[in-house]
Structure formats: C-alpha cells, structure tokens
Amino acid sequence: NKYLQMILMFQKRDVAKEIIDEIDRDLEVCNHLSKPYKVIARDCVNVSKLYEKAWTMCVAYTVSSFPIIASGLTIISHLFSDEPKKYMVHDINVPFREPEARFESPYFELMFVQTVWCSALYYLNFLGYDGYLITSVYHTCLKLKLCVQGLVDALKVKDEVLRRQQINGVILEQIRTYKYVDMLRETFHIWLGTITVCMVIHICTCVYRLQTHGFDMRYMAFTVASIIYVFSLCKSAGTVKRVAMSTATDMYLCGWERINDMRVRKMITYMIMRAQIPLQIKALTLYEFDME
C-alpha cells in the first residue's frame, strides 16, 4: 500500500500541490477577515487536528505493537527462562530451510532490524498520506461555511453596487469550492477504491488469524485500527455531504427576503440551485464514499 501511495502522489503531485495551496490560501484569507470567519476556520481546523491526533495514536499503537511485543517477549524470555526463546517481529522463514533456522544469527538480527525499519516507514507513510487526505476532505466544510457566512454579510450591505460586488465574490468562492472538490476526487479516488478492497481482505485475514490461533493483541490491534481507519474516511466524506446538503438551506435563510433588488435575488437563486446538488466523494468515480 505504501508504494501505491507514493506512486499516486507522484502521479498526482501537481493537483495535490494545488490542494495544499488552496488550503493555505483560505486560511490566510480568514486571518484578515472578521471574527465570525475566524471562528468558523478555527472550529474546522480543530476538528481536523482532532482526527489527525486520533489517527496518529491509532497508527502508532498498531505499528509499534509488533516490534514492542516481540522485543518484550524476547527480553523476558532471556531474563527469566531457563531455555530462552527468540521472538520475531514477523515470522519470516529462511528460504529452503527448516522453520527453526529463522532464529539463527545473523538472520534473526537482520530480519528484526529490517522489519522494525519497515514498520517505521509504514507508520510515517500512512500517517502522512491519510492525514493529508482527511485534512483535505474536511477543508471542504470550511469552504462551504465561509460561502454561507460571506452571503450573510453581503446582504447586510446597504449600497447596491457594493452588495452586488460582494455577492459576486461569494459566487466565485462557491465555484472555487466545487473545483476544489473535483481536485479531491482526481487525487484520491483511486486510493479510496483500492483501500476499500484492501481493508476488507485485511480485516478478514486478521479475524481468521484470531479464530485459528487464538487471541493475539497484535492482530486485534490491526483489526481495530482497520475499522477505525475506514470509519474515519467514511465519516469525513459523510460530513462533507451533510454540510453541503445544509448549505442550500443556510443560503435560503440568509435574509434575502429583505432585499428588493431583483438582480440580487436571481443571483441567490442560482447559488441555492447549485448548492442543492449534493457533493459526493467517490471511490474510483464509481461509488459514493460515506457513512451509508
């Protein structure tokens, strides 16, 4: 999976850079706006940070469980057992030799170091790519909420010309939001489709291991982490869909009925019509990725 992530990021590096630039641009703009915009931005950033921290701890616990348990059992066995045993991080047999040969030096030490190194790479890769994915998806909620707040403030302007200019600016931001979602789909749809299949296979493999070999903390951790991972992705995509569906209602309740300018009313009508089309994060552009 980590190699697939590297390939996808290299292939989509230009679009991925545009996503990062768009996030930086929106947060920088919020720094120069009034307090309501900063509150919206702060809330969305806090939610993203919460998911990132939870995902960090989940991955750290899952990845470290294999080397920590193997190291601990090996140390305890050599300290307190009359016949000390060695425990590998992952049981990898020596090709064309008996299974007990994997505990011989230097094969055991080399494989131990290699598997620990691979675990570290696994941790960094999953932490970076999937943290970036969830942060990018949640940023869509920020863009949608900023559009609604911008429309509310624009309708409070008394001058007709200035009001139309501000509403036009909100429309441009709404267009940028949907272009941003298109960039998300282009960047992540292959990974979302692939990880769905991989997680099903992975969870089934872990459950089979637990049923056939009894309870094992390492494989239980992997099972729980896989479930949390899929839930986090579905939850983030489902939140975007929910916020997008409520955007049309929020725009309708922005106070347009107090404005007698027909041009403004027509502009808001088109904004509401566009907002009624639900935003969907799709995997492989085939099926929707959400809590349902």
Tokens, residue 22: 């768009």
Strands 282-283 and 287-288 come out as: antiparallel
Average pLDDT over residues 117-127: 81
Q: What is the pLDDT of residues 88-98, one digit of tens each?
A: 877 777 777 77
> Is residue 252 assigned to a domain?
yes
Tally of structural domains, the chain: 1
Q: Classify burial at 216, counting beta carbons within 10 Å of its beta carbon; exposed 0-12, middle 13-18, buried 19 or more.
A: middle
Average pLDDT over residues 123-149: 87
> Is residue 153 assigned to a domain?
yes
> Is residue 99 assigned to a domain?
no
SS3 content of the chain, % helix, strand, coil (to 5): 80, 0, 20
> Is residue 35 assigned to a domain?
yes
Q: Classify burial at 107, counting beta carbons within 10 Å of its beta carbon; exposed 0-12, middle 13-18, buried 19 or more.
A: middle
Contact present, 48 and 135 (Cβ < 8 Å): yes
> Is residue 95 assigned to a domain?
no
Asked which of 85-99, 126-140, 243-257 is least confident by mean pLDDT, the reply is 85-99
Place of tokens 């931001």: 173
> Is residue 212 assigned to a domain?
yes
Enter the DSSP assignment of 102.
Answer: G
Q: What is the pLDDT of residues 24-79, one digit of tens each?
A: 999 999 999 899 999 999 999 998 888 888 888 888 887 888 888 888 888 888 88
> Is residue 85 assigned to a domain?
no
Find the domain containing 175 and state its range: 2-46+126-288
Q: Classify burial at 31, counting beta carbons within 10 Å of its beta carbon; exposed 0-12, middle 13-18, buried 19 or more.
A: exposed
> Is residue 41 assigned to a domain?
yes
